[in-house]
Amino acid sequence: MPSSPRENMILKWETLSLIERFGNVLYPLDVVDLLRQLPKLGYIVAERVLRGAILEPGQPLAIKGDVELRINQDNKTLGVVGRDVESVQEAFQNLRQLWMEQLDTSPNICTDYVEIDGSGWAKGQRNPIEVFGKWRGGLTKIEALGKVLGCDVTTFGLHLCVPNTDPNSPNWFDIRITPSVVSGAARYLVRAIWREQEVESVMRRFKNLDDTVRDLILEIEKT
C-alpha cells in the first residue's frame, strides 16, 4: 500500500519540551532528594550537582540519552527536553510518577499548567514561499495593508493562537509555520507552544503533536 502524504512528510524537532509549572507559593519538591532518585530512571546525575554545585545557565542537571532534566525553582517548573515525541513523553510521565510516588511532596502540591514547546522544521510536497504567496489574492485585509505600503504584499507564514485570550492565560496555544529563511523553497520552520491546566488533556495533545503539525501543513498546501 502506498504511503500517505502525511507519512511522506519529513518533520524534525530540534528541541521539544514538556514542562510542568506548579501553582504553589514555594517550590513543592525536595530537589536534592529528586536528583538522588533519578538514577532509578536511568539518568546520569553529576556528583557535583548532588553536592550542591551551582551550574551555569543552560547546563542540564541530569541526562538520559537525548533527554535532559530541567528544573527552575524560581519559576516553580520541572520537566524534560528532548528531540522526539515518544522519548520526551515517556520521560515526562516517568518523572511525574517518580515524584508523586517516591518523594514526600508538599500535601498541597498543585499544577498550574503543563506546557509543550517545540521548535523544528518540516518538508512538505510544495515550495513554502509559493504556497504562502498565493494567499494574498482575495484577502481583503492583506490587500488593504498592501495599499498602506504602496506595493503588493502577502503573509510570510501562518501564526495561529487562541482568539480573544490573554497570552498569559494557563490555557493557550501559539503555533507558527513559516518558510525557512535559509531554505524557503523547501522547508517550513515550525514553532509550537501549547499549555493547559488539565494534565491529561495536554498529554493527549503532545502524543498527537507530529500528526497535528503534518495535517496543518497539508491543509496549508492545498490549492
- For CA atoms 59, 64, 66, 72, the dihedral sign is negative
Q: What is the pLDDT of residue 168?
A: 94
pLDDT in tens, 47-103: 777 776 666 655 678 999 999 999 888 899 999 999 999 999 999 999 999 999 999
Instruction: Tell me: pLDDT of 137 over 70.
Output: no
- Write down the pLDDT at residue 117: 98
pLDDT, position 3: 73
Residues with Cβ < 8 Å from 100, sequence gap 6 or more?
none
Please give the pLDDT value at position 5: 78
Instruction: Please report the pLDDT score of residue 199 as a whole number.
Output: 96
Task: Copy the grid coordinates of residue 9.
Answer: 512528510
Q: Hey, what amino acid is at 20?
A: E
Residue range of the domain that includes 136:
5-221
- Mean per-residue pLDDT for 140-162? 90
What is d(CA 132, CA 153) in angstroms, rounded to the nearest whole number? Answer: 11
* Helices and strands (H, E) in the chain, number of each type: 8, 9
Provide the pLDDT confidence category of residue 142 given band limits of 50, 70 and 90.
confident
If 0-12 CB within 10 Å is exposed, 13-18 middle and 19+ buried, where does residue 55 land? exposed
Residue 11: helix, strand or coil by DSSP?
Answer: strand
Query: Angle, nearest 10°, between helix axes 209-221 and 199-207?
Result: 60
Those residues with Cβ within 8 angstroms of residue 194's Cβ, 6 or more apart along the chain or in another chain = 115, 116, 172, 173, 174, 175, 202, 205, 206, 209
- What's the confidence (pLDDT) of residue 209? 97
pLDDT, position 1: 53
The number of domains in the chain is: 1
Residues 6+ away with beta carbon under 8 Å from 139: none
pLDDT digits (tens, 9 = 90+) for 160-213: 999 999 999 999 999 999 999 999 899 999 999 999 999 999 999 999 999 999
- Identify the pLDDT of residue 76: 93
Which pLDDT score, from 0 to 100, does residue 152 have? 87
pTM: 0.90
